[in-house]
Amino acid sequence: MAERTSGSCRLRVLLALALAVLAPAGCGAIPDSGVAGPGRELVEAAPEPLRVAALGPRPGAGPDEIVQGFLRAGGSSDDDQMVARSFLVGSAVRSWQPSRGVVVYPDDVSLTTTVRGTTSPVRVDVTTPVLATIDEQGRFIQARQGTTAHAVFTAVRTGGQWRVSVVDGAFGSWLPQFALDRTYSPLPVSFVADGTTTLVPDLRWLPGPRPSLATALVRQLLLGPPAYLGAAVVTGFPRGTTLAVDAVPTTGGVAQVDLSAQALTATPAMRQMLWAQLTATLRRLPSVGEVQLTVGGAPFRVPGVTSASVYGDTGFRDDVRVTGDPVVLSGDRLVGIDAVSGKLNASRATDLSPGVRLRSLAVGAGGSLVVGVETSGRRLVRAQTGGRPTVLLTGSDLVDPVVDVTGAVWSADLARPGRLRVVVGTAVRDVAPRASTLTPDWLAGRAVQAVDVSRDGARVLVVSQGPGGDRRVDVAGVRRGTGGQPLALAAPLEVA
């Protein structure tokens, strides 16, 4: 049987890493109590990254030093990497594409450089441990322990100096860990949860300098929802919409977004949606206070908004907020915790169903739905106050439940690999709960050890263990049906 969550230090580390990666995008610990409310109007701006000045080639440097200098300069925030390209010669100057992806490594000491040959040209091999990668779309992915990266370069002597003439075809750029926050900004690109007015942020790590970030963000937005979100989200931009001019200049705090003619096919509802997406995405930048939207240079009308409007003006929200004090399980009582003092408040204690002994607990919005797994691990029950418990699921070793924004309860059985269990209809006492099973292909043969759902309900995080003991953390979009019932999961994004 797969190892239980509570007995695994490695699993706790995986969860912490995954939540650290996803927290800026709004996917973190699930709120188990309180009432959903409107999102904030005041948008928190992303921190300004430091501009890193790279050093060019040192006269007389050997091929190993030239390659390492190229690696260091490639992690700078120079426009078009002009300093890094000064280490290159010939066709390599044009063929190198730093946007192919980023490898984050510990530090320069961790690089192993081997020069093969003594006369020009020589081959230079570089190997390093990998902490994480950033793909071409800016998605940060935690590397598995023991992962390494290897790149091969060719160096030649030209004019008495060594330069890199051939760059590994798959090479983008390598970046030491200490330079990550100085040269990259984690910024959310906003889509909309299908059938709702809730904005779903998809976090991207994008390079500076700051003037280029507005353009990069809009480009990512126009590419549409990523595959891992699947049908969980939609976009207001009509298919094929691009920037009319491939830049988003910002002057006096106003970001000027000029779209192609395809945007004119958007319905009024789509226009409000794309406006909400644009303003929620761009106003994360400290340089942007307003958004001016045009198509081919002509004003693009969005019902009910002006350039000074924000996403909230069209009824969209960027977060599902919860209120109310947290609670803890004490014996067969649910005891509130004072949000100010952090102390137990016995005056807000509630007796659960008589005889119920729970080892884990989840509370739905408003506190009326209380569910938990019994100490035996065999039953997931709704522990309603003053009455008999309602059995929602049975199994051999059920994992801790979670209640999503719609009131659906998620769990899994460690003894039944490849499955997630979802119970709907739990919030209404006179309606029989209905359980369903989700069996995505990517979970086949893997024991689910933990599950969590984002506050917007559009994403689920799954920690699983394969037959060989390998653990993985995946995030996938949740496709929902009538009434918000989860129907299927998209192909996932592996985050740890």
Distance CA 381, CA 240 (A): 48
Q: Is the pLDDT of residue 137 over 50?
A: yes
Torsion of CA 117, 118, 119, 122, to 10 degrees: 40
Q: 155-186 burial string, b = 16+ CB within 10 Å, else e? A: bbeeeeebbbbbbeeebbbbbbeebbebbbbb
Average pLDDT over residues 17-31: 41
User: Picking from 43-52, 143-152, 204-213, which range would have the lowest pLDDT averaged per residue?
Assistant: 43-52
Output the pTM of the full model.
0.82
Residue type, 87: F
Confidence band, pLDDT 50/70/90 cuts, at residue 27: very low
**What local confidence, expressed as pLDDT, does residue 429 receive?**
60
Stronger pLDDT, 461 or 333, i.e. the higher one? 461
Of residues 209 and 291, the one with the higher pLDDT is 291
> Rounded to an integer, what distance in angstroms lies between the CA atom of residue 102 and that of residue 119?
31
Say if residue 339's pLDDT is above 70. yes
pLDDT at 307: 74
The whole-number pLDDT of residue 318 equals 83
User: CB 137: neighbour CB atoms within 10 A?
Assistant: 17
What are the distances in angstroms from CA 129 to CA 133, 173, 181, 302, 402?
Answer: 11, 14, 19, 50, 36
Q: Where is mean pLDDT largest: 10-24, 323-337, 374-388, 469-483?
A: 469-483
Share of the chain above pLDDT 70, in %: 85
Tell me, rounded to whole angstroms, the distance of Cα 28 from its chain centroid. Answer: 10
More confident residue, 4 or 199: 199
Query: Does position 412 have pLDDT exceeding 90, yes or no?
Result: yes
Q: What is the residue-averaged pLDDT of the chain?
A: 85
Q: Tokens 């590419």 sit at which residue?
A: 223
What's the rounded Cα separation, in Å, for the pair 255 and 337? 45
Q: Residue 38 burial by CB count (10 A; 0-12/13-18/19+): exposed, middle or buried? A: middle
- Domain segments of the chain as ranges: 5-37+323-494, 63-182, 186-314
Cβ atoms 155, 124 nearer than 8 A: yes
* Residue 123: both structure tokens together: 């081959």
Q: What is the mean pLDDT of residues 331-335?
A: 78
Q: How confident is the model at residue 31 (pLDDT cuts 50, 70, 90)?
A: very low
pLDDT(43) > 60 = no
Mean pLDDT of the region 46-71: 82
The CATH number of the structural domain formed by 63-182 is: 3.10.450
**Residue closest to 319 by CA, chosen among 196, 480, 476:** 196
CATH (residue range 5-37+323-494): 2.120.10
pLDDT digits (tens, 9 = 90+) for 80-136: 788 999 999 999 999 999 888 999 999 878 899 999 999 999 999 999 999 999 998
